[in-house]
Structure 1
């Protein structure tokens, strides 16, 4: 009997279960151009969108950025991508008769309880908001890790070799830059947190890392990068086939995030991360789940048109929610809704991929 635990199963692990094996497999997941654009190069493409639409920080400007300075069109596009990839998970969970019949009670009751708790308690919303922020970062860099594992599997490598090396490398490339950036927040910038419900938390204890950690974190990033290269050099000498696509993906991801925190604000960083993470997720869904989604909406008889219609059905409400997020001023209830939807995605996404992995094995 399966249990409703999200654990760490990722979309990449599901595809990994399908593609691992013969060394004659092509290196790509879907195709040369598809992989280079939608997976490997997507982080840098998202960074170029930020460069084209946002003004870089000027000397003396806070690295936090200010709410309302992000171009509305960028906020709308990033929001649309974000809610599309969330709604894909919603469709795969709540419209899947097999999954919902087995776990429907928990899938309905849990988000209702969470939303009510966040709606009535500002301190709870503050705490869960911080949890969601960190879980979001973990969710994102584990997706990058999973894509790297796919490219390793395509070359016939042992999936256990370098696994933890890659996890920590993705942390260094995708999460650590923002932890370091947070250490550059000045004392006067802490007042920005008083404008939201998280003030209930910050007035008891600030969670922004102290400036003394800057050197330690930067030193760790440099030393770990050296350790990572040395380790994979050693693996290669023992017969491990280094996957160029994985290295290119890691370089693209690391360059995008480190350049972002060097020249732009953390608000632009959030928009960039939402763009490339969401589009990569939608891409892997297109590869591995598009026909299942077509069946979920009972459109299998329409063949290719059914796939397009299924994604359009998901896209339309995503656009509407993105418009609402840009147009409607933030309120306590809206923030409770955003936090609930984010946590539901993180929680249920791992679960639905674990179900698909069991079916693929």
Structure 2
């Protein structure tokens, strides 16, 4: 992207149009999808992507280890929003204490529960990622002075289409559905047939997604025109975010551009998530780590926050998943991330 054009666009908008400020938003919310796509291109075919080494009994490439740690780090970061924010924790104490404990115990006591949660995590991740972009889009719409309800359902379905559509229609579809093979461990042969069925019928899903997607995009544009006649003001930041994220999703999930689909999509998603957590929770993090009275306490809190989350990320990536207790723990963190974040966005909507 032309940095001069980006700077000109940023300066043309009022500061209130941004979630934090122009520099912060472009660095951590708006540019990451395109930047991640560029990063995927840069690392393709290099030692960073292809070189292999063994660590803790696992084979990694540098990029594989980095994205694995980054994914797990952003997953556990939600606990600083839920348990680390006293106001939110007091609102949902049972959700934050009993539910993860019961889920963990269920997976320890039942292989069926363990496999079901593992497969659920794969597809909930897709939905959750689409809804994160939806959340940012709605905030930018609200910042531009629009009614929070105007066009909400349109944006919701557009984000699902732009994120999940390329998965169903693209080359990475089988990478998502192959998780159903895990049901073989509990003798559920019906579910183990799903990956082969989806692969054998992918062309039909692809044509259905393309046809329905084109029809919906035309309807979306028409609906936006109708809303504009009623006083709706199109947020250029929202349009850029949706267009860039949608294009990156199609190029990566749809075609696995440069062979780095999982790296690209997870990299920008995790980066955006860390950006929103720090933007909204830095005051709580300073208090949590008790560094408010120290010089540069805010930056020390940031360092401790990143150290804690990335420390967990490294541990989770290197943990032995053949040990049920460890696998169940990482799955509990994943599921709680998806669930907690879904209603924390709603709880904090008045603050953004």
Same structural fold, with TM-score higher than 0.5 when normalized by the shorter chain: yes
SS of residue paired to 1:260? helix
Whole-Å separation in 2 of the counterparts to 1:313 and 1:197: 39
Whole-Å separation in 1 of the counterparts to 2:168 and 2:206: 9
Does the C-alpha gap of structure 1 residues 193 and 137 become closer, same or farther in structure 2, counting only changes over 3 Å?
closer
2:183·2:189 contact (CA, 8 Å) conserved in 1? no
Does the C-alpha gap of structure 1 residues 300 and 324 become closer, same or farther in structure 2, counting only changes over 3 Å?
closer
1:232 matches 2:218? no
Partner of 1:63: none
User: How big is the alpha-carbon RMSD for the aligned residues of Structure 1 and Structure 2?
Assistant: 3.4
Does the C-alpha gap of structure 1 residues 109 and 265 become closer, same or farther in structure 2, counting only changes over 3 Å?
farther
Match 2:322 to one of 319, 322, 331? 331
Match 2:305 to one of 304, 311, 314? 314
SS of residue paired to 1:175? helix
1:37 matches 2:52? no
Whole-Å separation in 2 of the counterparts to 1:161 and 1:96: 30
Which protein has greater RCO, CA pairs closer than 8 Å, 6+ apart? 1
1:51 matches 2:3? no
Cα distance per residue 1:213-249 (max 9 Å; x no partner): 2211221112111211222122223321111111110
Question: Quick check: 274-283 or 84-93, which moved more?
Answer: 84-93
Whole-Å separation in 2 of the counterparts to 1:79 and 1:151: 30
SS of residue paired to 2:170? helix
Partner of 2:256: 264
Q: How many residues align?
A: 323
Does the C-alpha gap of structure 1 residues 241 and 199 become closer, same or farther in structure 2, counting only changes over 3 Å?
farther
Displacement of 1:353 in angstroms is: 4.2
Partner of 1:114: 103
Does the C-alpha gap of structure 1 residues 26 and 96 become closer, same or farther in structure 2, counting only changes over 3 Å?
closer
SS of residue paired to 2:16? coil
2:76·2:334 contact (CA, 8 Å) conserved in 1? no
Displacement of 1:98 in angstroms is: 5.0
Whole-Å separation in 2 of the counterparts to 1:197 and 1:331: 15
2:316·2:330 contact (CA, 8 Å) conserved in 1? no
Cα distance per residue 1:59-114 (max 9 Å; x no partner): xxxxxxxxx99963223332333333333321233344555566545523322221
Does the C-alpha gap of structure 1 residues 147 and 356 become closer, same or farther in structure 2, counting only changes over 3 Å?
closer
What TM-score do the two structures reach when normalised by structure 2?
Answer: 0.79
Whole-Å separation in 2 of the counterparts to 1:201 and 1:168: 36
Q: Aligned runs of 1:8-157 on 2, under 5 Å?
A: 26-54=16-44, 72-100=61-89, 103-104=92-93, 106-157=95-146
Does the C-alpha gap of structure 1 residues 35 and 230 become closer, same or farther in structure 2, counting only changes over 3 Å?
same
Whole-Å separation in 1 of the counterparts to 2:348 and 2:135: 15
Whole-Å separation in 2 of the counterparts to 1:226 and 1:201: 45
SS of residue paired to 1:160? coil
Displacement of 1:31 in angstroms is: 2.5
Cα distance per residue 1:158-197 (max 9 Å; x no partner): 11111111001101111111122379649xx988865x46
Question: Quick check: 279-288 or 115-124, which moved more?
Answer: 115-124
Question: Quick check: 326-335 or 142-151, which moved more?
Answer: 326-335
Cα distance per residue 1:36-73 (max 9 Å; x no partner): 231112112112222222459xxxxxxxxxxx999632
Q: Higher helix share goes to which structure?
A: 2
Displacement of 1:307 in angstroms is: 2.0
2:169·2:254 contact (CA, 8 Å) conserved in 1? no
1:30·1:287 contact (CA, 8 Å) conserved in 2? yes
Unaligned 5+ runs, structure 2? 1-12, 47-56
Unaligned 5+ runs, structure 1? 1-22, 57-67
2:169·2:206 contact (CA, 8 Å) conserved in 1? yes
Whole-Å separation in 2 of the counterparts to 1:36 and 1:183: 29
What TM-score do the two structures reach when normalised by structure 1?
Answer: 0.77
Partner of 2:151: 162
